[in-house]
Amino acid sequence: MGRIRFLNPFVKTLISGGIKATYQQAELLRELGFDAAVYQPDGAPVWLSPRLQELACDRLSVTAHDILVFPENLSGSIAKFAQVAARKVMFCQNHFYLFSHGLTADAFARCGLDKFIVPGELAKRALQSVMGLSDIAVVPPCIDSALFLPRQKVMRIVTAPRKFPAHDGIPAQAALIRATLGLKYPHLATVPWDLLERKSEQEVADAMRRAAVFLSLCKMETLPLTPLEAMASGCVVVGHHGNGGLEYATSENGLWFSPEQLEETVDALAAALDGVSRGDPKILALRDAGIATAARFTRERTKTTLQQVYGGLQSAAG
């Protein structure tokens, strides 16, 4: 049986949901009995849990029986692996990134990369319609229910502002929403905010367990993990679905808007905060539906699909 090696050519300080999902898949594959690891020359991500960090390796020799799992790009330090004799697949964490690289289906076929794995159905349809790709498997992400779970809440907003920085004089969206909330709802101006920046996975989970409300600032995502983790942690979710969040975002489990609906987002944020404070049944129902939504993204569900996909790949390789 050949080995499975995920190529993750990023610096160990880079924080992203895609990197976490890569390590999660490697961990679950090991639990299934596969020889899986993540090739990351810079070292294991310093922000991940120690058990996931153990999956990293900084050396890689490839045989024809191995399966190499590429990220969205085939350039830079991993370009050389596109030419080696091995089974090649791509774990496309974000189809918007993939499109921006300008690679065609023919370019993938020439280097023997003909199998694609995505987190959700929206991404699958996008790869089919834009690039004409056909061999695409959906492997849903999973939420660590031992890490992200409800606890006693305090009146606090938690958010991950990375996707909406200040640009051309326009304030960063988290700061703009916070300022607007204070202006329109002065009684909420002193509500603390917890920004998920440069935090470890454990620190993120701690922040979500404490906060009553999560402000989603997703943008051009394939299937965003952070809102799901907030749901699992018992936060009322308000904000943007980021396109891929439409896989699970409904009017029953959150208050969802487009990025241009800034005042509507502020109004919903105020309604969520006041509703939690008053014990409003409608707001608490959003929270409970969010918990139920996140509960669908289990390790067992992901393991089942990984077994089907990689078991099939290894059987085909003989």
pLDDT recorded at residue 5: 95
Are 158 and 288 within one domain? yes
Q: Are residues 106 and 178 in the same domain?
A: no
CATH number of the domain within which 216 lies: 3.40.50.2000
Residues 166, 286 within the same domain: yes
Whether 305 and 263 share a structural domain: no
272-295 exposure pattern, b = at least 16 Cβ within 10 A, e = fewer: bbebbeeeeeebeebbbbbbebbe
What percent of the chain stands above pLDDT 70?
99
Question: pLDDT tens digits, residue range 163-180?
Answer: 888 888 888 999 999 999
Tell me, yes or no, whether 59 and 124 share the same domain.
Answer: yes
pTM to 2 decimal places: 0.93
Is the residue at 79 inside a domain? yes
Structural domain harbouring 120? 4-142+298-317
Shared-domain flag, residues 27 and 115: yes
Tell me: do 236 and 311 sit in the same domain.
no
Task: Look up residue 283 and give its DSSP letter.
Answer: H
Residue 103 and residue 205 in one domain: no
pLDDT exceeds 90 at position 236: yes
246 assigned to some structural domain:
yes
Please tell me whether residues 233 and 185 are part of one structural domain.
yes
Same domain, 116 and 238: no
Q: Are residues 113 and 184 in the same domain?
A: no
Judgement on whether residues 206 and 309 belong to the same structural domain of the protein: no
Q: At 167, list the tokens.
A: 């640009």
Reported confidence tier of residue 317, pLDDT bands at 50, 70, 90: low
The verdict on residue 76 lying in a domain is yes
| Torsion sign (Cα): 227, 231, 195, 47 | negative
Number of domains in the chain: 2
Q: What is the pLDDT of residues 90-131, one digit of tens each?
A: 999 999 989 988 888 998 888 888 899 999 999 999 999 999
Largest CA distance in the chain: 66
Q: What confidence score (pLDDT) does residue 15 get? A: 85
